[in-house]
């Protein structure tokens, strides 16, 4: 798709009582907004997340990239794998978006990677009225296995074909999901989708999924 909807310059925001830092980018005439929930070793400044966000903007999707953990928490492996904590922080972001008059009318999609995908799915199960769609990139949905059957939002799982163990875990998770769901395998891609064109493929798969499942979702 030709990129016609260019976002604003971006707004640095602080979210929730912990003032978690984020970057909000709004496009003209948005059909929805997507919150990014990254995995371990990543942040709102991740080049991979930025690349995906740039593609989403072309589909009239605003984006919020934020750090789910404080710097001290990010150095604590127990926090990095605390899915309940991460999902709670995603919920804080959802509440923040709902409090903004310029964003409150939009339905929200969640884009999660690695452990962030589990947090996104748990947040979707916890707040079905606020989450309209979920996309997992190389995610660990198995870490939210106990809540997968409660997810109502349409869910797309995207995994690299060479990421064999994560692919197995995603196939098992797919069986537990009871919502509108799909598994997309990117041939030859490894866990971080570093192969030429692989991450761009993920980004467009995600963008089409969100555009089709957020309110008034159209790829026009």
Task: Tell me the longest C-alpha to C-alpha distance in the chain.
Answer: 44
| pLDDT given at position 186 | 98
Of residues 63 and 48, the one with the higher pLDDT is 63
Give CA torsion, residues 45, 52, 212, 98, to 10 deg.
10
pTM across the whole model: 0.92
Is the pLDDT confidence value at 94 over 90?
yes
Lowest mean pLDDT of 46-50, 105-109, 198-202, name the range.
46-50
| pLDDT given at position 74 | 83
The stretch 123-148 carries a mean pLDDT of 96
Q: Are 54 and 81 in contact (CB under 8 A)?
A: no
Show the domains of the chain with their CATH numbers.
11-213 (3.40.50.1820)
| pLDDT given at position 194 | 94
Surface-to-core class of residue 94, CB atoms within 10 Å of its CB (0-12 exposed, 13-18 middle, 19+ buried): buried
Distance between start and end Cα atoms, the chain: 9
For the CA atoms of the chain, what is the radius of gyration? 16
Sequence-ordered alpha helix ranges (H) in the chain: 47-57, 71-74, 77-80, 83-99, 115-126, 164-176, 198-213
SS3 204: helix
The stretch 74-86 carries a mean pLDDT of 89
Is the pLDDT confidence value at 39 over 60?
yes
Please, which pLDDT band fits residue 97 given cuts at 50, 70 and 90?
very high
């Amino acid at each position: 798709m030709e990129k016609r909807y260019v976002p604003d310059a971006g707004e640095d925001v602080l979210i929730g009582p912990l003032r978690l830092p984020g970057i909000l980018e709004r496009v003209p005439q948005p059909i929805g907004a997507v919150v990014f929930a990254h995995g371990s070793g990543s942040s709102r400044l991740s080049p991979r997340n930025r690349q995906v966000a740039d593609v989403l903007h072309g589909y009239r999707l605003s984006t919020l990239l934020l750090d789910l953990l404080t710097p001290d928490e990010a150095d604590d492996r127990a926090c990095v794998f605390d899915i309940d904590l991460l999902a709670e922080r995603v919920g804080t972001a959802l509440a923040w978006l709902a409090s903004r008059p310029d964003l409150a009318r939009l339905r929200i999609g969640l884009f999660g990677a690695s452990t962030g995908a589990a947090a996104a799915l748990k947040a979707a199960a916890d707040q079905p009225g606020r989450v309209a769609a979920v996309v997992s990139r190389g995610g660990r949905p198995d870490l939210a296995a106990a809540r997968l059957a409660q997810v109502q939002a349409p869910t797309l799982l995207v995994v690299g074909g060479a990421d064999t163990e994560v692919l197995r875990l995603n196939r098992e998770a797919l069986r537990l999901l009871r919502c509108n769901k799909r598994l997309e395998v990117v041939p030859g891609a490894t866990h971080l989708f570093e192969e030429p064109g692989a991450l761009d493929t993920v980004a467009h798969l995600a963008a089409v999924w969100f555009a089709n499942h957020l309110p008034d979702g159209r790829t026009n």
